[in-house]
Amino acid sequence: MNLNYAIFRSEPIMTTQDLAQIGSHNKREKKAYNSNPDIKIELSKNNIELVPLAEKYLKGFDELTKEYKREHEERMKTERKSRQKKYHDMLNSSRNCIADELMFTASPKFFDGMTREQIKEWADTCMEFVYNDLGYKKEQVLHATVHLDEKTPHIHCVVIPLVKKLDYRTNTERYTISKKQYIKDKIQLSQLQDMYHKRLTEKGYDLERGIKGSDDKHIKIKEYKKITRKLNQELNVKNDRLDKAMNEFEDKMKTTKESFLVGKDYVKVKKDTFDSMNNVIKESKKVMDMQPKLQAVFNKIDGYANSYKSLEKENQKYKNEVTKLEKDNEHLERENRSLIARLNYMFQLLKKFLRKLLQRGNEYTKDETADAIKDCYDNREFDMNDVVGISRGTTKQDELFDYVDAPNYYKERVRDYDEDEYDKDDFEMTL
């Protein structure tokens, strides 16, 4: 029973600062790693560069995404000054991942006795998975390296999921960075981990699929129980065969008085009795060979069981606190519903206020108000219908209708309503 596991993980990188730090780690740019004693910096010269990167990560990132950067800078030229953002600032404030770090490894024993060349062959298979199954092009790989200067060899592969997508608001294709184009969710990630295991086994690597829903530090006990059941079934079959062989041998001994012919210097055994005895020995060896495998699994389960018992005790300490928090949460939810109702009322007043500014303000006020409405739309605080309702019949109607891509049938000029769905009695304002 092989207990070496194929391991593939995906970790999003959210900011350029994080990308720079990961680059420093992956490229071993420090002279010492006191916080990580597993790294033997004197062995870093043995690390394997699968996709080299001469410069630092941020410079390589900017080069790889230069068309996206150029597109962003062109767009900023037409934005008002208060809305302009530098390329990296835009990325960092987007709350989307800007890169994805793919990590590949296996159980430590898998690498026992492997040469550097053999590890390179395994790593090449992993990179084929990146290109053929994940769908990344080589020019989307910022850097990929195999670390041989830690306890267990592993691959760090940093990819930039840069794609062109249709912007429905402007009906044009624009660059964006979207990990979901390659790994949509945890379900797809699990399917890709299945495929990763398949690709390795197709190349002859004797590895088990990593246990679903866990990593090497949190392997579920029930998965080991499945392994144990398989071993027990195998052991039971072997024990049955041994019992059968023993019974046959005993029958031969009972029914055949001449099983043994004793001479002065030798003992003769009849062939069928001798064969039965050999069969007992053979089946006994099979049972004995199972013992180390069973013991290894039992020890592993025992270790995980103790860990889970410790966690259960710790969890018990928090049960009372959780109950109290649940009650507090119910109270907060009631208050939150009341707050939302008040906010909705204030939100309606805000829309009426902005409409009055567009109706009665001077040109400077109207320009500033239109920019504020665009900001609310960009931040998804207003939708298209909100913007249409606020601006229709005003001098900013066409500008704001175009900004939100309002349908043509909305774009017919209508009279300037001083009193429409916004009741004048609800809101009074003097300019």
Domain at 123, CATH number: 3.30.930.30
pLDDT for 45-59, tens place per residue? 999 999 999 999 999
| Count of domains observed in the chain | 3
pLDDT confidence of residue 422: 46
Structural domain boundaries, residue 236: 222-307
pLDDT for 4-17, tens place per residue? 788 899 999 999 99
State whether 185 and 255 are in the same domain. Answer: no
Taking the whole predicted model, whether its pTM rises above 0.75 is answered as no
Residue where the block lists tokens 């990179």: 127
Q: Does residue 327 carry a pLDDT above 90? A: no
State whether 182 and 49 are in the same domain. Answer: yes
pLDDT for 64-92, tens place per residue? 999 999 999 988 888 888 888 999 999 99
State whether 253 and 227 are in the same domain. Answer: yes
User: What DSSP character marks residue 419?
Assistant: S
The verdict on residue 330 lying in a domain is no
Give 371-399 as a DSSP string: HHHHHHHHTTSS-HHHHHHHHTTSTTHHH
- With vertex at residue 122, the alpha carbon angle to CA 18 and CA 45, rounded to the nearest 5 degrees, is 60
State whether 166 and 228 are in the same domain. Answer: no
Q: What percent of the chain has pLDDT over 90?
A: 26
Domain boundary (243, 275, 307) is at 307
pLDDT confidence of residue 141: 96
Q: Does residue 374 carry a pLDDT above 50? A: yes
Distances (CA, A) of 364 to 84, 355, 399, 403, 429: 20, 15, 15, 19, 18
The verdict on residue 352 lying in a domain is no
State whether 13 and 71 are in the same domain. Answer: yes
* In contact, 1 and 227? CB cutoff 8 Å: yes
The verdict on residue 208 lying in a domain is yes
Under 8 Å CB-to-CB from 221, ≥6 apart: which residues?
A: 301, 304, 305, 308
State whether 97 and 11 are in the same domain. Answer: yes
Pairwise pLDDT comparison (236 vs 184), residue with the higher score: 184
Q: Does residue 338 carry a pLDDT above 90? A: no
* In contact, 394 and 416? CB cutoff 8 Å: yes
State whether 24 and 111 are in the same domain. Answer: yes
Tell me how far apart the 2 most distant CA atoms of the chain are, in Å.
131
The verdict on residue 337 lying in a domain is no
pLDDT confidence of residue 35: 63
State whether 259 and 171 are in the same domain. Answer: no
pLDDT for 197-242, tens place per residue? 999 998 888 788 765 554 444 445 555 556 666 666 777 777 777 7
State whether 252 and 401 are in the same domain. Answer: no
Domain boundary (261, 289, 307) is at 307
State whether 135 and 106 are in the same domain. Answer: yes
417 falls in which pLDDT band (50, 70, 90)?
very low
pLDDT confidence of residue 41: 86
pLDDT confidence of residue 424: 44
State whether 45 and 182 are in the same domain. Answer: yes
The verdict on residue 343 lying in a domain is no
Q: Is the dihedral of CA 384, 161, 91, 64 positive or negative?
A: negative
- State how far the Cα of 324 lies from the Cα of 100, in Å rounded to an integer: 39
The verdict on residue 32 lying in a domain is yes
State whether 198 and 233 are in the same domain. Answer: no
Pairwise pLDDT comparison (217 vs 375), residue with the higher score: 375
The verdict on residue 338 lying in a domain is no
Q: What percent of the chain has pLDDT over 70?
A: 71
The verdict on residue 104 lying in a domain is yes
Q: Which of 24-28, 296-300, 414-418 has the lowest mean pLDDT?
A: 414-418
Domain boundary (261, 276, 307) is at 307
pLDDT confidence of residue 427: 40
